[in-house]
Amino acid sequence: MEKLIITAAICGAEVLKEHNPAVPYTIEECVLQAKSAYDAGASIIHLHVRMDDGTPTQDKERFRVIMEAIKKECPDVIIQPSTGGAVGMTNDERLQPTELCPEMATLDCGTLNFGGDDVFMNTENTIKYFGEKMIERGIKPELEVFDKSMIEMAIRLNKKGYIKSPMHFDFVMGVNGGIGGDIRDFAFLRGSIPTDATYTVAGVGRFEFPLATLAIIDGGHVRVGFEDNVAISKGVLAKSNGELVEKVVRLAKELGREIASPSEARQILGLKAL
């Protein structure tokens, strides 16, 4: 079985310090959280950024500064900026971090009712546009899917040349408006991707560690972090992203999976070696 790639989603567009005081906003805080995750065993840092006051931003220069600062402390880590942005941003606003030509970036494969009146819009033309830009910039997309229909969209656009093979999916499970986080939901998504594809599971809230366990057993990969879950156990806030990664490492060791280094993760995902 392949070694386990652990992604740490160290912050997000929605989670705030009021949910967990350790959620990073500043450059220094982002570096601290990325380093804690990297030292614990994460080979990918999934990155949203904020201004110092906590305002979410897709500003290219803010991404540049934070990515360079993280790389200074974690030279070989894979940094995967999000192109999700925040509800209401334009396509080009959301794509700003891809202008920095990172190794990977996220590509959301469908529209989602995010709660209340918020709708996270990703039309077919948006997905095509993002796919074309990532091909043009030499970026491997992590295909964010919140339901099975989004897998079907990715497969169809792959056949049309907007997304290259082999594809790498991220099953984001347990989000309001998306698929649930039960075993049957995992099996449904897992059985729907092409045989040459790889996948990561990101369970939200209470689903984080049960789904991580399923992915470890199945041979998939795992995402944890403050973006998805701020607690290490029920009612107990995690002290850092590193603490969440450490829990996955312990689960993997109990279940017989070795942890992939960044170089091994690049090999598994088909990225260029540093």
Mean pLDDT of 66-72: 98
pTM above 0.75, yes or no: yes
Q: What is the pLDDT of residue 86?
A: 79
| Rounded Cα–Cα distance for residues 65 and 57 (Å) | 13
**Strand 104-108 relative to strand 78-81: parallel, antiparallel, unpaired?**
unpaired
> Tokens 């995690």 label which residue?
238
Tell me: pLDDT of 240 over 80: yes
Q: What percent of the chain has pLDDT over 70?
A: 100
What's the whole-number average pLDDT of the chain?
Answer: 96
pLDDT digits (tens, 9 = 90+) for 35-48: 999 999 999 999 99
Mean pLDDT of 229-235: 96
Q: Domains of the chain (ranges plus CATH)?
A: 6-269 (3.20.20.70)
Q: Which two tokens stand for residue 37?
A: 């995750």
b/e burial code for range 222-249 (CB count within 10 A of at least 16 → b)? bbbbbbbbbbbeeeeebebbbbbbbbbb
Q: What is the DSSP string of 75-130?
A: TTPEEEE-S---TT--HHHHTGGGGG--SEEEEE-S-EEEETTEEE---HHHHHHH
Q: What is the pLDDT of residue 19?
A: 96
- Could you tell me the sign of the dihedral formed by the alpha carbons of 55, 57, 60, 65, in that order? positive
Tell me: pLDDT of 89 over 80: yes
Q: DSSP letter at 167?
A: P
| Rounded Cα–Cα distance for residues 268 and 237 (Å) | 32
pLDDT digits (tens, 9 = 90+) for 120-141: 999 999 999 999 999 999 999 9
pLDDT digits (tens, 9 = 90+) for 103-125: 999 999 999 998 888 889 999 99
Q: What is the pLDDT of residue 42?
A: 98
Tell me: pLDDT of 155 over 80: yes
pLDDT digits (tens, 9 = 90+) for 161-193: 999 999 999 999 999 999 999 999 999 999 999
Please, what is the end-to-end C-alpha distance for the chain in angstroms?
Answer: 24
Q: What is the pLDDT of residue 231?
A: 98
> Which has the higher per-residue pLDDT, 197 or 117?
197
For 92, residues 6+ apart whose C-beta sits below 8 A from its C-beta are none
Tell me: pLDDT of 274 over 80: no
Q: What is the pLDDT of residue 114?
A: 82
Which is nearest to 82 in space by CA: 90, 94, 68?
94
Angle at alpha carbon of residue 119, lines to 118 and 124, rounded to 5° = 165
Mean pLDDT of 49-70: 97
